[in-house]
Amino acid sequence: MKKINKICCIGAGYVGGPTMSVIAHKCPEIKVTVVDINANRIKAWNDENLDKLPVYEPGLKEIIAETRNKNLFFSTEVDKAIDEAEMIFISVNTPTKTYGKGKGQAADLKFIELCARNIAKVAKDDKIVVEKSTLPVRTAQAIKNILDNTGNHVNFEILSNPEFLAEGTAINDLLHADRVLIGGDETPEGEAAKEALSAIYEHWLPKENILKTNIWSSELSKLVANAFLAQRISSINSISALCEKTDANVQEVSKAIGLDSRIGSKFLNASVGFGGSCFQKDILNLVYIAKSYGLQEVADYWEQVIIMNDYQKSRFANNIISTLYNTVSGKKIVFYGWAFKKDTNDTRESAAIYVADALLEEQAEIVIYDPKVSEERIYADLDYLNTRSEEENRKLVTVVKDPIDASKDAHAIAVLTEWDEFKAYNWETIFKQMLKPAFVFDGRRILDKEKINSIGFNYYRIGENA
Ligand code: NAD
Ligand code: UDX
């Protein structure tokens, strides 16, 4: 089996950065170079000030401090890193297409194709190419076609090694992965490549946690894992709406059903809706793939997970509007949280964006506080929707650094992210500063209901009748 000494990872994002940091940390004899065409991102990964890393993840900066410029390098020299490496991970973004065939559903593979062409152009010796990005089933075929037609007699083995980390817990997830999935050709060369990749993970994970499959099962399993996880959230969120009508309590229902070991207790927290860069994109992709094979019923089944999620976000916004006497025009509503979940600075597809958009349509005045998300990012998220002009977004939305001060003269607080610090705030002070009646809408069910009610708030939370 070929021993790997040099790794290159193309794409220094939320996956490439943390995954390669952990590999470098656990495999000190391997030189790991993470490359990206985004020079600003690479500059931030190399910043002396570890609080300026482009990705916030608990535990990440400690690992970077230990490995960076020893056996972990961040660089914009893509060709050089490809040339040097024996194993190349492709970890670039695969967003939903915004144009052409499959617009709004299919994964946009242009960045993947560019990587494959770049590898084909540069490689002078045999390489193992690892799909780390989440890809539609059968993408490896396209990559292979590009790589095998270089005419330079280089042998490429393509592996699928999807990443299952969740943001906010990435380092822990990587260090203690439930399983690592490696798909590859079932030829002697394919098996050897799988072994070479497995040997890297075996530095810190038990061999029995490393699952080897054929390449198509591996590619498909990643989409299916995300679809199943998101389906649980949409299922419980659908029930949260029913709870609000029937005086049942969604948390009690979650607990009651989760104690059945066949169901299990995880991923049953009702919320304002799932966000993040993966769930929606990967389910839409699954829907598109099913349709492209003529499986309309399969496509419709999975699409319902997205429809329910959109419904949950608009239901939350509509509840704010109807509770505030059917008008929020000119009313100050404070958002606690903008990230799609706690412990990350990532806002992609965050429910907060869509709730804000619906309230802004009603001319609410929104004040936003998030401990890790920048003002620039928040405006970019709203501008991207193209619902109103950039000037209007800046006129109606203010981003603040002091969450308590923000509550002065507010009509309502909406909790959009489950940051722990929100629970510890002095809610008495917040109440005193707000206009009365003072409303709290808890999209994450994190506040202490008794306490918040006893202070005098009108408190609403997902999945429970006030
Ligand atoms: P990201 O947008 O944070 O990072 C991708 C990076 O790739 C960007 O910095 C971009 O500049 C770079 N890039 C794009 N094309 C390039 C090229 N040709 N050469 C060099 N660099 C290039 O994306 P991410 O969140 O890290 O996701 C990457 C992949 O991993 C996606 O397919 C995603 O679905 C999958 N994934 C993401 C997560 C997650 O939690 N974010 C988890 C599992 C899997
Ligand atoms: C997800 C998958 O969990 C991970 O395995 C995959 O690699 C990438 O996509 P991520 O999106 O980073 O990870 O975070 P996750 O913890 O799955 O949360 C996704 C969204 O669902 C968040 O908005 C979260 O708040 C929400 N969620 C999660 C709920 O609303 N209820 C739950 O019970 C769990």
CATH for 51: 3.40.50.720
Is 436 within any annotated ligand binding site?
no
164 lines ligand 2 (CB under 6 A): yes
Cis amide bond preceding 18, omega within 30 = no
339 in Cβ contact with 274 (< 8 Å): no
Compute CA distances 122 → 133, 212, 262, whole Å.
Answer: 21, 29, 50
Q: Residue type at 290?
A: A
463 lines ligand 1 (CB under 6 A): no
Ligand nearest to the CA of 234: 2
How many structural domains compose the chain? Answer: 2
Q: Are residues 144 and 276 in the same domain?
A: no
Q: Examine the fold and report which residue of 175, 205, 235 is the final residue of a domain before the chain moves on.
A: 205
350 in Cβ contact with 316 (< 8 Å): no
Q: Are residues 36 and 161 in the same domain?
A: yes
Interface ipTM: 0.98
Residue 454 forms part of a structural domain: yes
Q: Are residues 102 and 230 in the same domain?
A: no
Atom of ligand 1 nearest to the CA of 94: 32
Query: Over the stretch 325-373, which tens digit does the pLDDT of each residue have?
Result: 999 999 999 999 999 999 999 999 999 999 999 999 999 999 999 999 9
Residue 280 forms part of a structural domain: yes
Distance CA(354)–CA(356), nearest Å, equals 5
If you take atom 28 of ligand 2, which residue's CA is the nearest one? 267
Considering only CA atoms, which of 282, 258, 278 is closest in space to residue 268? 258
* Helix and strand element counts for the chain (H, E): 18, 14
Task: Annotate 149-194 with DSSP letters as a single string.
Answer: TSSS---EEEEE------TTSHHHHHHT-S-EEEEE-SSHHHHHHH
CA of 90 to the centre of ligand 1 (A): 8
CA of 130 to the centre of ligand 2 (A): 24
341 lines ligand 2 (CB under 6 A): yes
Is 148 within any annotated ligand binding site?
no
First-to-last C-alpha distance (Å) of the chain: 63
| CA 315 distance to own-chain centroid | 22
> What local confidence, expressed as pLDDT, does residue 338 receive?
98
- Let me know how long the chain is: 466
- pLDDT mean over 148-152: 80
Distance CA(215)–CA(159), nearest Å, equals 7
Rounded to the nearest 10°, the torsion over CA 182, 185, 188, 189 is -80
Distance CA(304)–CA(238), nearest Å, equals 11
Is 67 within any annotated ligand binding site?
no
Atom of ligand 2 nearest to the CA of 268: 33
CA of 17 to the centre of ligand 1 (A): 9
Ligand nearest to the CA of 305: 2
Atom of ligand 1 nearest to the CA of 166: 40
Considering only CA atoms, which of 33, 56, 49, 42 is closest in space to residue 346? 56
Atom of ligand 2 nearest to the CA of 225: 5
Atom of ligand 2 nearest to the CA of 233: 31
Confidence of residue 452 (pLDDT cuts 50, 70, 90): very high
> What local confidence, expressed as pLDDT, does residue 165 receive?
98
Structure token digits, residue 239? 């029930």
Does residue 386 sit in helix, strand or coil? coil
Partners of 33 in the β-ladder: 8, 73
160 lines ligand 1 (CB under 6 A): no
Is 282 within any annotated ligand binding site?
no
If you take atom 34 of ligand 1, which residue's CA is the nearest one? 134
Answer yes or no: is pLDDT of 129 > 80. Answer: yes
168 lines ligand 1 (CB under 6 A): no
Please say if 9 is a catalytic residue: no
- pLDDT mean over 88-107: 97
Answer yes or no: is pLDDT of 466 > 90. Answer: no
Confidence of residue 153 (pLDDT cuts 50, 70, 90): confident
Angle between helices 215-246 and 139-147 (to 10 degrees): 150
Summary mean pLDDT of the chain: 97
- φ, ψ at 149 (rounded to 5°): -110, 30
Q: Are residues 59 and 99 in the same domain?
A: yes
The domain of 231 spans 219-466
166 lines ligand 2 (CB under 6 A): yes
> What local confidence, expressed as pLDDT, does residue 1 receive?
64
Is 281 within any annotated ligand binding site?
yes
Q: Which of these is catalytic: 8, 27, 115, 278?
A: 278
CA of 20 to the centre of ligand 1 (A): 13
Confidence of residue 203 (pLDDT cuts 50, 70, 90): very high
CA of 13 to the centre of ligand 1 (A): 5
Answer yes or no: is pLDDT of 195 > 80. Answer: yes
Answer yes or no: is pLDDT of 149 > 90. Answer: no
Q: Are residues 174 and 292 in the same domain?
A: no
Is 444 within any annotated ligand binding site?
no
Q: Are residues 32 and 149 in the same domain?
A: yes
Residue 1 forms part of a structural domain: no
| CA 335 distance to own-chain centroid | 20
Query: Over the stretch 278-296, which tens digit does the pLDDT of each residue have?
Result: 999 999 999 999 999 999 9
Residue with tokens 């822990």: 172
Q: Examine the fold and report which residue of 181, 205, 229 is the final residue of a domain before the chain moves on.
A: 205
Name every residue whose Cβ is closer than 8 Å to that of residue 82 and which is 6 or more positions away in sequence. 8, 10, 35, 88, 118, 119, 122, 123, 127
Q: Are residues 199 and 224 in the same domain?
A: no
Task: Annotate 419-447 with DSSP letters as a single string.
Answer: -THHHHS-HHHHHHHS-SS-EEEESS--S
Distance CA(285)–CA(349), nearest Å, equals 15
Q: Are residues 200 and 236 in the same domain?
A: no
> What local confidence, expressed as pLDDT, does residue 455 receive?
98
CA of 142 to the centre of ligand 1 (A): 19
217 in Cβ contact with 182 (< 8 Å): no
